[in-house]
């Protein structure tokens, strides 16, 4: 579930800077440039400076939440990754508190909770699952045209369903019910994400994974291949395309050279 900074930078009209200092705008522009170059550390540094200039500016707070998330993803299994995610989550919570009628804070709360699920014990996994479910749903309610929120929720429903029955039952017995809606709902949400943003590598890849689990091999193949055809415009896309090729190879599907670099 990784759909961070470039999503925010691309949403230019939504995050247009108004009523802020020239210093804030300059730092924000430098952060945007670094984000487009996939220099996540530099983007984070610039957005932190922008926030120092304008601590409560909506678009700066959103981009900072995204930047912390992207740096956390780049850090992988490093202990520092959790710290980055938690700082991003703090920014997302502030967005929700200050701008409760905007979807972006809820979206990042769901996204970052998903990133943290892999790094915590079972009790915290259940709590994070509830955060993902509630906040992704709220983000969709507030902005039904924002594709990444559907991706987060659709991927979450698939992951819950593919956890072994024993593991899930034990977690629910110990810590309470885990929200879930099933594979059909996962597919519906991910299809909607592709409809809303047919150029999204993330959307096609996650839909392909759900279709594969459901035994819809032809549809899965179609969307894995589409994920390889689309241009890379996010720091995670090379990894996602590598995983798409791996899935296709496992399924015995030949991938010719035209898919080699996401052409």
The full 3-state SS of 13-72, as one line of letters, equals CCCCCCCCCHHHHHHHHHHHHHHHCCCHHHHHHHHHHHHHHCCCCHHHHHHHHHHHHHHH
151-191 pLDDT, tens digit each: 999 999 998 888 777 777 777 777 777 787 889 999 999 99
Tokens of 38: 């996939």
Tokens of 77: 């299994």
Give the closest residue to 68 by CA, choosing from 52, 37, 90: 90
Q: Where are the alpha helices (DSSP H) in the chain?
A: 5-10, 22-36, 40-53, 58-75, 79-98, 103-117, 122-142, 147-162, 165-175, 183-196, 201-213, 217-229, 237-250
- Backbone angle region of 99, left / alpha / beta, with phi > 0 → left and psi within -120 to 50 → alpha: beta
pLDDT of residue 262: 44
Q: What pTM does this model have?
A: 0.88
| Helix (H/G/I), strand (E/B), else coil: 251 | coil
110-147 pLDDT, tens digit each: 999 999 988 887 778 888 999 999 999 999 999 999 99
């Amino acid at each position: 579930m990784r759909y961070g900074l470039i999503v925010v930078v691309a949403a230019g009209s939504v995050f247009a800077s108004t009523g802020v200092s020239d210093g804030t705008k300059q730092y924000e522009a430098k952060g945007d440039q670094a984000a487009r170059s996939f220099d996540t550390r530099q983007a984070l540094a610039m957005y932190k400076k922008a926030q120092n200039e304008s601590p409560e500016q909506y678009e700066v707070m959103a981009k900072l939440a995204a930047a912390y998330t992207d740096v956390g993803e780049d850090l992988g299994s490093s202990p520092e990754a959790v710290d980055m995610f938690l700082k991003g989550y703090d920014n997302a919570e502030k967005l929700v508190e200050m701008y409760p009628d905007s979807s972006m804070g809820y979206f990042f709360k769901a996204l970052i909770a998903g990133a943290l699920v892999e790094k915590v014990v079972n009790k915290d996994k259940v709590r994070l699952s509830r955060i993902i479910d509630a906040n992704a749903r709220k983000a969709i309610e507030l902005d039904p045209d924002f594709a990444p929120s559907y991706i987060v929720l659709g991927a979450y429903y698939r992951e819950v369903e593919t956890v072994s029955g024993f593991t899930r039952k034990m977690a629910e017995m110990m810590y309470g019910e885990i929200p879930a809606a099933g594979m059909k709902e996962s597919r519906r949400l991910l299809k909607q994400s592709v409809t809303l943003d047919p150029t999204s590598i993330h959307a096609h890849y996650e839909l392909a994974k759900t279709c594969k689990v459901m035994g819809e091999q032809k549809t899965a193949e179609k969307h894995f291949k589409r994920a390889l055809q689309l241009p890379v415009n996010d720091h995670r896309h090379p990894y996602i395309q590598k995983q798409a090729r791996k899935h296709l190879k496992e399924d015995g599907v030949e991938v010719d050279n035209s898919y080699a670099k996401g052409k």
